[in-house]
Amino acid sequence: MFGRSPSFAVLFDMDGTLIDSEPYWLASEQALAKEHNGIWTHEDGLSVVGLSLDESSKLFKDKANIDLEPQEIVTRLTSDVQHQLEKTIPWRPGARELLFDLKKHNVKTALVTMSLRRMAQQVVDAIDFPAFDIIVAGDDVLRGKPHPEPYLKAAELLGFAPENCFAFEDSISGITSAEAAGTIAIGIQNIVPIPEQEGRIIWPTMQGVNFKTLRKFSK
């Protein structure tokens, strides 16, 4: 480990950014809809990527037209995705390597996800080094992404101003949340394209990104 902590922190979204779990969610949604004789297409699934579970479960209930309450939907889908994660956690390219390098340099890190804390903790516990200082999960905030609350809370808990935090996101609602919070938001393209706009930073993957990359970028 190196000496004193750097002047920036790094915040990571989980689903689709840190791990490639969006296909797990899409499959679980379609299976649950089919179980209740509802219809939920691949395109429907893409439309809720990155949203809070509260909002996405209400949209799922209405669109799939199934007789389950939103909280029941959240519980069922989360448990199913967790079961899939028990078998394999699919890391996004460069994500684990970046995390390891950041911790080697004493960088403060946060996992900022709209998934439930129990699922976020499952992923964190599967990492064989202390990757995150804190977790801000969907059940830790009143207003989920695209509202800035999740990233504002993470920055505050780490003791950093948002403008001194990098935030990695793969969804439109996620990067909107990170940008609204005032972080240095970086979009990592995945299954839902992040539209380009003036001042927005978009990278294809985190492969090859390390502590030195971010230190130069923050100056």
For the chain, domain boundaries: 9-20+90-218, 22-87
**pLDDT, average across residues 120-143:** 96
9-20+90-218: CATH superfamily: HAD superfamily/HAD-like (3.40.50.1000)
CATH top-level class of 22-87: mainly alpha
Question: Who's near 99: CB < 8 A, 6+ residues apart?
Answer: 12, 18, 109, 127, 131
**In the predicted structure, residue 1 carries a pLDDT above the cut 50:** no
- What is the value of pTM for the model shown? 0.91
Q: Amino acid identity of 90?
A: P
Contact 155, 9 (CB under 8 A): yes
Neighbours of 130 (CB within 10 A): 10
Q: pLDDT (tens digit, 9 = 90+) per residue, 51-110?
A: 888 899 999 999 999 999 999 999 999 999 999 999 999 999 999 999 999 999 999 999
